[in-house]
Amino acid sequence: MTDLANAPSPQPGPERQRKPDWIRVKAPTSKGYGETRQLMRDLKLNTVCEEAACPNIGECWTKKHATVMILGDVCTRACAFCNVKTGMPRAVDASEPGHVAEAAAKMGLEHIVITSVDRDDLPDGGAGQFVKVIRALREQTPNTTIEILTPDFRGKMQAAVAAIVEAGPDVYNHNLETVPRLYPTIRPGARYYASLRLLEEVKAHNPLVFTKSGIMLGLGEERLEVHQVMDDMRSAQIDFLTMGQYLQPTPKHAKVIEFVTPKAFDAYGAIARAKGFLQVAASPLTRSSYHAGEDFAQMRAAREAKLAKAAQRG
């Protein structure tokens, strides 16, 4: 990777690097993919799988796994890495919580991931809609475990986190996305330490809620900067770390500075586990909700084993 002192800041540009073999995936064509796509259309639901051009959409939708994106498909911010549309969003859809729960029931989901665009235009940043979705899921599919991936609720964080945690998600995810040095160009509308504080707030309200966060690699970050982010996350008691390769959605987005090798991802994963995360997912194709259900089950089992071992010592 680049030397820390001289590391270039990523800038949008027309050049796009050719993807290495380990990053390429086949176009989705399966029956399961088509059925999942049609269900989302019928219920008028958005998914981050489509909006963020996720490379794993074929695999996940074939298995009828989807990450539902609530609060519309237009974001009030314009992050340099994100493919979601920017502009003035529409009014909040009152029928959305029921549609999400209906989709979960029809797909027979054991675990569901709910995310959203940034809604800086709303008085609560959209927290109330997360609460309604969680409650609808608890009522209609009580055995489904719920993972949420929220924005930072800029200026409204404490009240938003308190309301959502009270609703009882099983996993609270908020991605740091990158190292602090790159925030001005990659995530200009956010603040690194505010995002860390959000995840600390979750634990303060309910220590039993699993917390999760992720970063993208390949944006020009230095190895020691990544290690520092891991340490910051552990200081905030984050349970689960995801690390994946950044892919440039269009020529106008931030460029890929480096395609990080699978071997390098394995090394980062080993370091993260040594630092004490309950669960780590680190590979070029890892995304926040990729294999989320399986990872949640492993993380819950790891916590139970840890508690049992502590009880034996006591």
Q: Which of 52, 163, 188, 154 is nearest to 113 (CA)?
A: 52
Q: Is 79 within any annotated ligand binding site?
A: yes
Q: What residues contact residue 119 under an 8 Å CB cut-off, 6+ apart? A: 71, 72, 76, 89, 125, 126, 151
Q: Is 9 within any annotated ligand binding site?
A: no
Backbone angles phi, psi at 120, to 5 degrees: -65, -15
Q: Is 213 within any annotated ligand binding site?
A: no
Q: Is 49 within any annotated ligand binding site?
A: yes
What does each C-alpha distance from 281 to 116, 240, 261, 298 come to in angstroms?
22, 8, 15, 11
Contact (CB, 8 A) for 168 and 130? no
Q: Is 288 within any annotated ligand binding site?
A: no
Q: How is the chain split among helix, strand and coil, in percent rounded to 5?
A: 45, 15, 45
Sheet holding 171-173, edge to edge: 46-47, 67-70, 111-116, 145-149, 171-173, 210-217, 240-245, 279-282
Distance (Å, rounded) from C-alpha 116 to C-alpha 44? Answer: 15
Q: Is 82 within any annotated ligand binding site?
A: yes
| Binding positions for [4Fe-4S] cluster | 49, 54, 60, 75, 79, 82, 289
| Binding positions | 49, 54, 60, 75, 79, 82, 289
